[in-house]
Structure 1
């Protein structure tokens, strides 16, 4: 799967259905036949995976020691909200109410591509938090990338 890039703004309809933007469907043609898996994110957001990416995540989790308390808790928390969704004839998915409540999403949604998954945010929360470059972004880059930063091979 190629890496995903871009942001997409959309709205929930009154029945909590979200139209998958055409530009995103073009990047992920398999979602029309396989559907998607949506889950709680690590922040107040949701995460969309293609079915194949979700299966890779489950394969990773399957390698953990389920008898180790931390591993078992992580597996439990990570998979607890996971819901398989299929697109309807109009290209919409019905997002479960408990997931919308987790993310604080009411109507306006920001979909933001993150390499191999798509984060789903309340649009205002995303815009106020992540569309502003932090003053210490260079320090964060150095911390995360370490010796990789500035080599000129990016």
Structure 2
């Protein structure tokens, strides 16, 4: 559903324009309603169509409440989850706490990841991408599942 890398700009109010190629899909899938939350492993944001997020949230809520790791994940992901809606210009307004978490400034990268989008600071993404490329070039770093993958 979502794929590709888009360099985008945040305006002074923290709004970003969703690429045109995604707008129609989002309108059909979820009435242009989205949910953004933090990624617990990277300093980026995860943006889901609201219907996809509801499936994920149900799974997160089903985790055992007496498991401290599960509770932390619930607090982080659900606690930061923020409803967003595309305005008439195809923009979303990102709240300051989410922008701060992901170190978002003017230049950002919106990356399609199948059923979700990731939003990165452009400079952080470029650093991380280079690290990932270095790791991939070392076969001993690849999980067994990926060693047999043919592209």
User: Which interval holds the TM-score relative to the shorter structure?
Assistant: 0.7 to 0.9
Which piece of structure 1 moves more, 133-142 or 67-76? 133-142
C-alpha spacing 1:117/1:135, structure 2 compared with 1 (3 Å): same
Structure 2 unmatched ranges of 5 or more: none
Aligned residues, how many?
150
In the TM superposition, residue 41 of structure 1 has moved relative to its aligned partner by 1.3
- The equivalent residue for 2:19 is 21
- The equivalent residue for 1:41 is 39
Question: Hey, what's the Cα distance between the residues in 1 that align with 2:89 and 2:48?
Answer: 20
| Residues 37 and 80, structure 2, Cα contact 8 Å, conserved in 1 | yes
In the TM superposition, residue 121 of structure 1 has moved relative to its aligned partner by 0.5
Structure 1 unmatched ranges of 5 or more: none
TM-score (norm 2): 0.85
Question: Hey, what's the Cα distance between the residues in 2 that align with 1:88 and 1:45?
Answer: 22
TM-score (norm 1): 0.83
- The equivalent residue for 1:97 is 96
C-alpha spacing 1:20/1:118, structure 2 compared with 1 (3 Å): same
| Residues 30 and 49, structure 2, Cα contact 8 Å, conserved in 1 | no
